[in-house]
Amino acid sequence: MNPFNISSYAINNGIDIRIFRPLSNLYKLDEDIVDKNFSQIVYGSVEHAYQSAKLIDAIDRTRFILTCGTGNNDSYYGMSALKAGKKLPNVRSDWDKVKLEIMEYYVRLKFQQIRFKDFLISTGNLHIYENGHSFWGVPGLNHMGKILMKVRKEINESNT
């Protein structure tokens, strides 16, 4: 695998890092995605879906989505969900056990959408890092980067 992460690749090759924003969970989706457990709830970003999944009850999830709002542009559409999700008082008791599986589920749904799928494939074999988070990115465990690379590999394998 290429030793460069997307951020350093962009910087080292004079590419504006903002072109990689569509990989972000905050980015507005082209089509809403449906809740994993409650088909009547839809989300406009992976971040909305992920933060909502911290709640068990459909009514609580719906209330969360209706009250958290959206960001002011496509790149930061899910920022309000991220901020509101950090303040949730009644997070499900098994959250630490299921959060990776839930994130992967919603990331997979995002990259079924053609524009996002094509974008992820266009990253080739670059090593993907989420910046600035100890669990999801680097420095740290880079779970988000690993999920993105796993989904990219699955897409590439299904296209052969």
Query: Are 106 and 49 spatial neighbours (Cβ–Cβ below 8 Å)?
Result: yes
| Whole-structure pTM value | 0.88
40-74 pLDDT per residue, tens: 899 999 999 999 999 999 999 999 999 998 887 88
CA distance 127 to 7: 10
Domains in the chain with CATH codes: 6-158 (1.10.357.40)
Q: Which two tokens stand for residue 135?
A: 């669990």
CA distance 44 to 42: 7
Q: For 28-43, give the secondary structure using H, E and C.
A: CCCCCEECCCCCCCEE
pLDDT at 24 over 80: yes
pLDDT at 8 over 80: no
Q: Cα torsion at 124, 148, 30, 65 (round to 10°)? A: -170
